[in-house]
Amino acid sequence: MRVMITLSLLLNIAVLVPVCTGLITNANWALASYGEATAARGILLSVYLAIGLVSALLLVIREPKLVSALLLVQVVYKLTTPMTVGTIANPIVASNLGIAAFHAVTLTLIWRARH
């Protein structure tokens, strides 16, 4: 369980550092994937920054209940993106589904360790 917690948190950081950097710098790939800089994109950047910062903090605190809360919210939002975007063909949607599956394994292990 502890290894998967660490891997899930590191996965968040590994994905979010380049994504946030791309959004902040208006990288061409970010423009193509997320569109022009708008208030909505700024709000999404804030959410991504929060997830990344909390993931880094949880690497230090290592409290499974707190990790569970973060990962559960991520799994729910990532599983709903195909419905809100209207496709699974979008590369962000596809990667969200893969990350959700990974985090779901971690959540299952945390749950099983409690009982």
pLDDT of 53 reads 98
Residues 6+ apart with CB under 8 A from 49: 16, 20
Q: What is the Cα–Cα distance from 106 to 27, expressed in whole angstroms? A: 32
AA letter at 12? N
| Angstrom distances, CA of residue 18 to CA of 12, 25, 58, 106 | 11, 10, 20, 23
Q: What is the pTM assigned to this prediction? A: 0.95
Per residue in 10-69, pLDDT tens?
999 999 999 999 999 999 999 999 999 999 999 999 999 999 999 999 999 999 999 999
Q: Which domain holds residue 106?
A: 2-114
- Residue 107 in contact with residue 75, Cβ under 8 Å? yes
Number of domains comprising the chain:
1
